[in-house]
Amino acid sequence: MKVTKQKKLEAKGWKVGSVTDFLDLSEEESAYIELKLSLSHSLKEHRSKKKLSQIEVAKIVKTSQSRVAKMEAGDPSVSIDLLIKSLLALGASSKDLAKAIA
Amino acid sequence: MKVTKQKKLEAKGWKVGSVTDFLDLSEEESAYIELKLSLSHSLKEHRSKKKLSQIEVAKIVKTSQSRVAKMEAGDPSVSIDLLIKSLLALGASSKDLAKAIA
DNA sequence: TGTTAATATGTCAGATATGACATATTATTT
DNA sequence: AAATAATATGTCATATCTGACATATTAACA
C-alpha cells in the first residue's frame, strides 16, 4: 500500500496495521477495506437509482440517517453485515452483490 | 419460507422473524442467511483444498478452533465480516468471494 | 477394542458494532 | 441572501460478536 493511501485511510478513521506487521497484513487488509468500500459505493448507487433520501433509506433498513451516512462514507464503524443487509433491504440480489465485489 | 426450513434454522440457533413480520422479512432474511451459508461452505472448501485442520486455520486467522468450527457450521454468532476476513486470510480473492455468493 | 486426533457445542468476559441523538456542514429552493 | 432540506460528524448506552476455554462428540487408526 502506498503511504499516501494509508494516510488517507487513517485520516478517515481506519486503524491500519502497525509498521511491524505492515507487510504481513497489508494485502488481505486492503482487500477487506476495498471490499467494504465497494459495498458502500453500491449502496449509494442503489439509493440514487431509487431517488431516496438517507432518511428514507434509514426507515427501510430500520436504522438512523447518521448510520446510513456512515455506511456510504465507508466509516470503519460499520460492518459488512450491515452493508449487505441494507443492500438486500433496498432490493439488491445476491448477484448484484457479487457483481459489486468482484 | 417453508415451515420445515424455518424450524431447521431455528434449531440451529437462528432467530427468525416473528410471525407478525414473517412475510415482510422472510425474503431478505433468507437471502442473508443463504449468503452466510455460502461463505461458510466456501471456507470449508478452502480448508479442505489446503488440507488444513481447524486448529491450523485458527492459527492463520488468529482465532480459536471452536470459532472456526462455528464458522463452518454457519452458526448465527458469526458475522459475515469474520467469514470474509477468514477467507481472505486463506488466500481467497475477491473474485472467489463473488463466485461463492453469486 | 482402546487410544488419539479432529471437530462440535456451551459458556462467558471483553471487544466491537449498533441505533439514536445532537449538532455541524453542505446543497437546494425561494 | 435567507430558509429549508439533505448529508456529515461526534458521542454514547446497549446489543451483538469475539477469542478463549472446557468439555462433548465423532473419526481415524493401531
Distance B66 CA to D22 C1' (A): 11
| Range of the structural domain that residue B83 is part of | 26-101
Burial letters B36-65, b for 16+ CB under 10 A, else e = bebbbebbbbbbeeeebebeebbeebebee
Report the share of chain B in percent with pLDDT over 90.
72
Whole-number pLDDT of residue A92: 97
Q: CB < 7 Å to strand D — which of 41-60 in chain A?
A: 53-55
A28 touches chain B (CB under 8 A): yes
Is B5 inside any structural domain? Answer: no
What is the 8-class DSSP label of residue B5?
A: H
Question: Closest partner residue to B28 among A32, A80, A88, by Cβ?
Answer: A88
Residues of B in contact with A85 (CB under 8 A): 28, 32
| Contact criterion met (CB below 8 Å) for A33 and A9 | yes
Question: Closest partner residue to A98 among B34, B89, B102, by Cβ?
Answer: B102
Confidence category of residue B19, pLDDT binned at 50, 70, 90: very low
Is A3 inside any structural domain? Answer: no
Residue range A51-101, pLDDT digits in tens:
999 999 999 999 999 999 999 999 999 999 999 999 999 999 999 999 999
A32 torsion bin: left (phi>0), alpha (psi -120 to 50), beta (else): alpha
Considering the entire predicted model, what is its pTM?
0.89
Report the pLDDT averaged over residues B72-82. 98
Is B85 inside any structural domain? Answer: yes
Q: Is the CB of B17 under 7 A from strand D?
A: no
Is A55 inside any structural domain? Answer: yes
Is A94 inside any structural domain? Answer: yes
Q: How many domains does chain A have?
A: 1
CATH for A35? 1.10.260.40
Is A59 inside any structural domain? Answer: yes
Whole-number pLDDT of residue B40: 98
- Closest listed residue to residue A36, CA positions, set A90, A65, A76: A76
C-alpha cell at B100: 461463492
Average pLDDT, chain A: 87
Is B11 inside any structural domain? Answer: no
Residue range B34-68, pLDDT digits in tens:
999 999 999 999 999 999 999 999 999 999 999 99
Is B83 inside any structural domain? Answer: yes
Residue range B79-88, pLDDT digits in tens:
999 999 999 9
